[in-house]
């Protein structure tokens, strides 16, 4: 590995440049691939994202979802079966039209999402109410020819995600699933990945193409822009009708199934991991998804044996690497800090003399000398606290940036300061469209929706039309 | 789950129908997806293939390979950079030509393999001899518009694989890598997946497009046809020249790197798992890649509590499921045998009375009553022996079908009996092309190559031209 320079800008001063530098300098992805909007994910991100997949899939399987692998390609005719879907996605679809030297009889979409591939199979598999709920998911890449500016990890033309698709007997069951999806998000994104977010119900004008109700988690970047993380949707009956997804109920009556889908985009969530925890010195990873958890930097050959012994002990509960490169100590420290490894153990000559090791922890950026014999206990202790500390720090920043506004002037001020404004609003249904458009024009920010699962009583008036507020909404900038 | 009927044909009598039935009836894949050659992989195969990925990736990482995720699409111009590659793959490439409603400026290949995506990045990353070897891999799907008949898992138009790509300083280093790849194949495919195979060096006329030397593992199906499993290749210098993959050596001289690639196709290897171990009653899975390892069939509600206690104990070392369905006992037994679960535990009323459980093991298809208190010890014992037993059985079948032939009549006889014929051959280089073609015509079988890494001394004459044999080759039918 050649000499690495550090990040030359401050995260909170020039976030966009910080993000680009951190991706390049810590080798998360190479942006020089010669197709626009596509990138080469490098080992340091892939190792972490594989762990993210593992955690998310474990939770999904525990909750009764079974894994499938569907084809990457979807025939055009499937796409056309549901009109809101075709309208929503067609501008972004990559089309396969040739194979070998021949034109295909029907062109094939590179899936932008898989409803139209899956529902036809659901129709074949579901016969009776006993087959429901059908809870499925797949790990997959999806493709969207984004017309907006692409950004590595945040918005690429190919991204790596999980999509769960379920069929239920009733609308109530579907709603229960949506709530379970939100709990899963809390369990995985917040508790394991340490990312703070709010789960919103999206307003009428901002729903997934083909959904009756859309719920989506928004995380917040230092530039004051929210980034949508997993969303979960109650799908319109149009869909089950278009694809004939029906079942015979207990009274021998034929009914259409109620469908839901939930899409955690791992490569995008990874962006939020980087953004939430990274600092001016580089990356920081939550313990369970760190590409490697411990590095031992043994500066002198005299320490190598000790390092190997320590490595063997650590291996039993964490992934560990010894840095045998011939870089100078300062360079090594700097390098591993930038790479965001949770724990670095230095064994210098002084440490050898004193029968101690020096432990640097990246959650608190703190260095301590620990007697050799206590090293393992100390590492285990740090491992246990690590993610909790990141959560605490991240939550504090996040919560500090959500502020109540009584009028549009206050909304503007909050947004200008990079925050999320919370205020009264007339309606998140069709009738509110006008006021929402005005907010977009006046504040250059969006109504992200109403906070889900919290009894926020609307009080006061809509910040735009001054009518009685029926909702408390959150307003923020987005990309 | 609705009532399942068993496999209605014998594996060794009508292999092709057996294979189709087992895929459908054990729900490995649904073949009704509406794009030819593409299939929907169902949970029972995906759970197993995910474990196969895990084992293969663990070994690769341990041997120093780092994981990457490359884009699924490759620009046409990359493809055209190396002539033998473009010639070999172009007839099979799916092309993306549109995005949204617009034609793309340059069409994009759905990767049939990723050399032409990766090597341009290698050229960016490799500077000095200190950067070598560069050992990479990716888990990915690849796409080939096969012109031959497709068969689920064995030959589909989209398949799930791992491709490892490495760059080395010297040809000798490259050859060392190829040997390591063959060892990896033995370590994973034979020792964990329990699949017997022979690693051949392919003859001149049967190399990977763009390779100097190709090595490939052949497994054998009951219909007497071999199926190619992982292959590893020493890539022609043309490739490093075409993509400018070079390095500065210790003497400050610029040199082209030596490239190797190795491609274990997980979805195809899964076919060999099914084919090698399956019997007339259904699937059998090696222990470490069974979708689930233990099922408890508690026929009577009185046994439920005992089943739950047992489950908790087993969970500590194996995956376990309790079958609470209301199917009849016979149906349940039959179902789980067909599904290939390694161990089935029955707790009937008689078992309850006698404080025992009945354990059925699928490796030996044997049922034993075991005192409750010894159940865990017994299960652990079976788990330990399970894969070894499958290996023993599979190796015996495989080895029994490789036979020596002294002349073409004997070759024909062996092939007709569904075996692999081992015989003298003039040359696996260019000069032998003629004799190989004659074999194809006369025997309707192929020269698969010379056995690698075993000192098989050629003796006697070529079975076709009667010249002195320079090689011992293996002849077999293939798909």
Cα distance between residue A369 and residue A188, in whole Å: 33
At residue A179, the pLDDT reads 97
* DSSP character string of B422-463: EEEES-SSGGGHHHHHHHHHHHS-EEEEEETTS-----SB-T
Distance CA A82, CA A116 (A): 8
Place of tokens 């005992």: B306
Q: Which of A50, A3, A18, A20 is nearest to A290 (CA)?
A: A50
Query: Residue A80 and residue A97: Cα distance in Å, rounded?
Result: 17
Is there a shared CATH topology between the B15-277 domain and the B402-478 domain? no
CB contact under 8 A, A67 and B43: yes
State the number of CA atoms in the 13 A half-sphere of B355 facing the CB. 3
d(CA B148, CA B468): 36
Res A453: pLDDT: 67
Give the position of tokens 């004997």. B410
| DSSP H stretches of helix in B315-432 | 329-339, 349-353, 375-400, 408-416
Closest-CA distance, B35 to chain A, in angstroms, reads 7
Q: How near does any CA of chain A get to the CA of B439, in Å?
A: 30
Domain A402-478 belongs to what architecture?
2-Layer Sandwich (3.30)
Residue A413: both structure tokens together: 């001020």
CATH top-level class of B15-277: alpha beta
Please judge whether A38 and B97 are an interchain contact, meaning their C-beta atoms are less than 8 angstroms apart.
no
Beta carbons of A465 and A195 less than 8 angstroms apart: no
Q: Could you give the C-alpha distances from B123 to A32, A52, A318, A321, in angstroms and in order?
A: 12, 30, 34, 27
Rounded CA separation B415/B418 (Å): 5
* pLDDT value for B1: 37
CB distance A152 to A24 below 8 Å: no
Q: What is the pLDDT along chain B (479 residues), one digit of tens a residue?
A: 344 478 999 999 999 999 999 999 999 999 999 999 999 999 999 999 999 999 999 999 999 999 999 999 999 999 888 877 777 788 899 999 999 989 999 999 999 999 999 999 999 999 999 999 999 999 999 999 988 888 999 999 999 999 999 999 999 999 999 999 999 999 999 999 999 999 999 999 998 878 899 999 999 999 999 999 999 999 988 899 999 999 999 999 999 999 999 999 999 999 999 999 999 999 999 999 999 999 999 778 899 999 999 999 999 999 999 999 988 889 999 999 999 999 999 999 999 999 999 999 999 999 999 999 999 999 999 999 999 999 999 999 999 999 999 999 999 999 999 999 999 999 999 999 999 999 999 999 999 999 986 677 888 899 999 999 999 999 999 98
Q: A142 and A158 in contact (C-beta within 8 Å)?
A: yes
Q: Which residues between 40 and 99 in chain B have a beta carbon less than 8 angstroms from any beta carbon of chain A? A: 40-43, 46-47, 49-50, 66-75, 78, 90-99
- Reading the block at residue A307, the tokens are 């390092």
DSSP state of B202: P
Angle, vertex CA A196, rays to CA A191 and CA A197, nearest 5: 120
What 8-state DSSP symbol labels residue B36? Answer: T
Pairing of strands A225-235, A211-220: antiparallel
Interchain pair B72, A72: CB under 8 A: yes
Place of tokens 């690497």: A321
How many Cβ atoms from other residues are within 10 Å of residue A361's Cβ? 20
Give the orientation angle of helix B375-400 with respect to helix B304-314, to 10 degrees: 70
Whether the CB-CB separation of A32 and A24 falls below 8 Å is answered with no
CB pair distance less than 8 Å for A46 and B69: yes
Which residues are paired to B357 by β-bridges?
A: B370
Selection from B414, B473, B35, B426 nearest residue A106 by Cα: B35
- The DSSP code for B214 is E
Map tokens 């002849």 to a residue.
Answer: B475
Distance, in Å, from the CA atom of A94 to the CA atom of A76, rounded to the nearest integer, reads: 11
DSSP, residue by residue, A241-262: HHHT-EEE-TTS-EEEPEEEEE
Which distant-in-sequence residues (6+ apart) come within 8 Å of B386 by Cβ? Answer: B286, B287, B342, B361, B363
Residue among B338, B456, B434 at smallest CA distance from B26? B338
Concatenate the DSSP letters of all residues of A412-426 into one string: HHHHHTT-EEEEEES
- Phi/psi of residue A25, nearest 5 degrees: -75, -25
Start-to-end C-alpha separation, chain B: 34
Q: In which element (H, E) is residue B136 found?
A: strand B134-143
The pLDDT score that the predictor gives to residue B3 is: 43
* CA separation, residue B226 to residues A9, A340, A399, B204, B263 (Å): 59, 48, 62, 19, 17
- Please, what sign has the CA dihedral across residues B71, B243, B124, B106? negative
pTM summary value: 0.96
CA distance B453 to B232: 14
CB distance from B320 to chain A under 8 Å?
no
As a whole number of Å, the CA-based R_g of chain B is 25
Contacting residues for A180 by C-beta, under 8 A, at least 6 apart: A63
Q: Which pLDDT value is given to residue B453? A: 67
CA distance A375 to A294: 12
At residue A300, the pLDDT reads 84
- Measured in angstroms, the CA of B462 and the nearest CA of chain A are apart by 39
- A72:B73 CB<8 A: no
Q: Which fold has domain B292-382?
A: Rossmann fold (3.40.50)
In chain A, which residues have pLDDT < 50?
A: 1-4
Buried b / exposed e across A396-423, counting CB within 10 Å, b at 16+? eebeebbbebeebeebbebbeebbbbbb
Neighbour count for residue B320 (Cβ, 10 Å): 22
Q: Check: CB of residue A422 under 8 Å from CB of residue A405.
A: yes
Helices (H), ranges, B315-374? 329-339, 349-353
Thinking of the domain A292-398, which architecture would CATH place it in? 3-Layer(aba) Sandwich (3.40)
- B 142-171: CB under 8 A from A: 143, 145, 147, 158, 160
Chain B's closest residue to A106, CA to CA, is B35
A210: left (phi over 0), alpha (psi -120 to 50) or beta: left
**What is the phi/psi pair of residue A303, to 5°?**
-90, -10
Number of A/B CB contacts below 8 angstroms equals: 145
| DSSP label of A204 | G
CB contact under 8 A, A72 and B100: no
8 Å CB contact of A40 and B69: yes
CA–CA distance, A321 with A340 (Å, rounded to integer): 13
Residue A2: what pLDDT? 40
User: Most A CBs within 10 Å: which of B33, B54, B128, as the mutation test of the A interface?
Assistant: B33
Return the closest-CA partner of residue B15 out of B227, B317, B229, B210.
Answer: B227
Say how far apart CA A449 and CA A431 lie, in whole Å.
14
Q: B116: burial class by Cβ within 10 Å (0-12, 13-18, 19+)?
A: buried
A388 contact partners, CB below 8 Å, separation of at least 6: none
Task: State whether B141 and A40 contact (CB < 8 Å).
Answer: no
Residue spans per domain, chain B: 15-277, 292-382, 402-478
């Amino acid at each position: 590995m050649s000499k690495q320079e550090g990040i030359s800008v401050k995260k909170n001063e020039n976030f966009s440049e910080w993000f680009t530098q951190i991706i390049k300098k810590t080798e998360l992805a190479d942006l020089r691939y010669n197709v626009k909007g596509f990138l080469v994910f490098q080992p340091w991100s892939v190792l972490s994202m594989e762990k993210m997949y593992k955690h998310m899939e474990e939770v999904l399987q525990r909750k009764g979802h079974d894994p499938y692998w569907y084809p990457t390609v979807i025939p055009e005719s499937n796409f056309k079966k549901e009109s809101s879907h075709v309208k929503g996605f067609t501008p972004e679809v990559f089309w396969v039209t040739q194979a070998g030297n021949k034109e295909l009889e029907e062109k094939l979409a590179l899936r932008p999402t898989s409803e139209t591939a899956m529902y036809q199979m659901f129709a074949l598999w579901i016969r009776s109410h006993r087959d429901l709920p059908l809870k499925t998911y797949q790990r997959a890449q999806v493709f969207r020819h984004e017309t907006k500016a692409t950004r590595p990890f945040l918005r690429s033309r190919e991204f790596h995600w999980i999509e769960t698709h379920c069929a239920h007997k009733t609308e109530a069951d579907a709603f229960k699933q949506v709530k379970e999806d939100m709990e899963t998000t809390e369990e995985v994104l917040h508790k394991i990945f340490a990312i703070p977010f709010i789960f919103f119900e999206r307003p009428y004008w901002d729903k997934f193409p083909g959904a009756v109700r859309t719920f989506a988690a928004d995380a917040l970047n230092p530039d004051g822009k929210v980034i949508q993380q997993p969303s979960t949707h109650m799908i319109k009956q149009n869909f089950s009708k278009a694809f004939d997804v029906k079942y015979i109920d207990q009274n021998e009556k034929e009914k259409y199934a109620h469908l839901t889908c939930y899409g955690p985009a791992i490569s995008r969530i990874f962006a939020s991991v980087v953004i939430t925890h990274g600092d001016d010195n580089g990356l920081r990873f939550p313990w369970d998804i760190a590409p490697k958890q411990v590095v031992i930097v043994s500066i002198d050959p005299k320490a190598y044996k000790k390092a190997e012994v320590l490595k063997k002990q650590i291996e039993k509960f964490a992934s560990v690497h010894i840095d045998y490169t011939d870089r100078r100590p300062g360079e090594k420290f700097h390098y591993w800090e930038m790479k965001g490894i949770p724990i670095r153990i230095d064994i210098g000559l002084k440490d050898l003399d004193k029968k101690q090791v020096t432990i640097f922890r990246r959650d608190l950026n703190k260095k301590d000398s620990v007697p050799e014999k206590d090293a393992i206990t100390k590492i285990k202790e740090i491992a246990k606290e690590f993610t909790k500390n990141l959560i605490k720090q991240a939550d504090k920043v996040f919560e500090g940036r959500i502020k109540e506004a009584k009028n549009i002037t206050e909304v503007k001020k909050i947004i200008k300061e990079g925050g999320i404004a919370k205020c009264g609003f007339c309606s998140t249904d069709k009738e509110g469209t006008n006021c929402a458009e005005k907010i977009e024009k006046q504040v250059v920010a969006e109504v992200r929706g109403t906070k889900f699962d919290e009894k926020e009583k609307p009080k006061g008036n809509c910040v735009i039309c001054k009518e009685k507020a029926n909702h408390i909404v959150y307003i923020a900038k987005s990309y």
